[in-house]
Amino acid sequence: MLESSFRIGTIAGIRIGVHYTWFIIFFLLSSSLLALFMDRHPEWDTLTSLLTAAITTLLFFASIILHELGHSLVAIARGIRVQSITLFIFGGVAQTEKESATAATEFWIAIAGPAVSLALAGLFYLLKWWWGGYSAIAFESLDWLMTINLVVALFNLIPGFPLDGGRVFRALVWMATGNAMKGMQWAVLGGRLVAYGLMFMGLLTVLQTGLLINGIWLMGIGWFLLSAAEASGRAYVTDQLVGGLSVGDIMRKDVPVVSAQMSVLDWVDEHVLLSSQRAYLVKQGDSIIGLVTLSDATALPRQQWADTSVREIMTARERLYTVKPSSGVKEVLILMRDHALNQVPVVEAGDIVGWIDREYLLKILQLHSETGR
């Protein structure tokens, strides 16, 4: 999410960002409000309706930031660092550095967001009756903001992951059973049911009313919730599997090595094709100077393979992402994900002592999963 967003500010040390998809929902929502206000108040000129719609939309997204800050400030108070809050097409998301350590922490972090939205709905209700009596513009804007914050609070309390209600549900199952994994499994199941329900409602909306945009929007939200629930479930299981593993526990020490002077053609023919190993460390003398992969070779025209040394196409050692034997396996997974890596060398006391490759790591995780370790 962060890779495609830009920073708009910082609150309590938390980076506030906007994903490019936010502009899509801002346009759609402000356009919808413009049509609503023009229909209710034909006496308003177009500029008044447009400005009211735009300002109301911005206040709504300010409410979303406050909702996420509710989660974030409770998380910080509970010892969990929050890296960012990002606005995107389906609302907002806070990125924390780790999962909750206890069911109670999970519960209070999860419930904080809907509590903020409920409080905002109450605040806009009071402002509507105080200020709205003097201005029809203020009344319409505050009335909509009151309603939408109430909807956000209630919708988020639906017990399906990754909605806040799903996190609350997860925490309650965790408390009842003492099993965090079981809590996550039930919350993900709830998320699937909610997602399928929304997609079915979207389909019915299109078939029965012909409101194509509304139906597609419901199906889009359902699809997003389903994808997020499944991804969160997989990520949680992976975190549990690697939580007690260090790089030194599972790294490969028998790393294949190729001479820096060998031609790309000889390396592919004599090593890669015979061993099915796609990556090699590159050695010159007694030193490891880089890493070469089959992708490096295939990026080079084949007619140049015989006259090009492995050294010329390798990634130099100083450009490699590396880890230590004491590093956590989760750190490796993050490196592989963020930088599209298949191999991460392991360095100790300045020497490369092994590596972790993606295929080997996935096999290890699968074995741990199958054995229940």
Helix segments in 11-102, DSSP class H? 22-40, 46-77
Residues with Cβ within 8 Å of 278's Cβ and at least 6 positions away in sequence, in order, are 272, 293, 294, 295, 342
* pLDDT the model gives residue 208: 83
DSSP classification of residue 135: -
Q: What is the pLDDT of residue 312?
A: 93
| Cβ neighbours of residue 304 closer than 8 Å, sequence gap 6 or more | 264
Q: Out of 3, 68, 97, 270, pick the active-site residue.
A: 68
Task: Please name the CATH architecture into which domain 247-371 falls.
Answer: Roll (3.10)
What residues contact 38, with CB distance under 8 A and at least 6 apart? 44, 46, 49
Report domain extents, the chain. Answer: 2-157, 176-242, 247-371
Least Cα distance to 180 among 110, 111, 99 occurs for 99
Q: What is the 8-class DSSP label of residue 269?
A: I
pLDDT in single tens digits along all 373 residues of the chain: 445 677 888 888 888 888 888 888 889 889 989 999 998 898 988 899 999 999 999 999 999 999 999 999 999 998 888 888 888 876 788 888 777 889 999 999 999 999 999 999 999 999 998 887 688 888 999 999 999 999 999 999 988 888 899 899 999 999 999 888 888 889 888 889 988 998 998 888 888 887 777 788 788 888 888 888 888 777 777 776 666 678 887 788 888 899 999 999 999 999 998 888 888 999 998 888 999 999 899 999 999 999 999 999 999 988 988 888 888 777 787 788 778 888 888 888 878 888 888 888 778 777 766 665 5
Distance CA 297, CA 278 (A): 10
What is the C-alpha radius of gyration for the chain, rounded to an integer number of angstroms?
Answer: 27
Residue 372 pLDDT: 57
Q: How many whole angstroms separate alpha carbon 168 and alpha carbon 111?
A: 7
pLDDT at 4: 64
- C-alpha 159: how far from chain center: 20
Cα–Cα distance between 159 and 121 in angstroms, integer? 21
pLDDT of residue 244: 67
Separation between Cα atoms, residue 320 and residue 115, nearest integer Å: 46
Amino acid at the residue 218 = L
Question: Distance between CA atoms of 44 and 36, rounded to whole angstroms?
Answer: 12
Q: What is the pLDDT of residue 371?
A: 64
Annotated active-site residue 68? The verdict is: yes
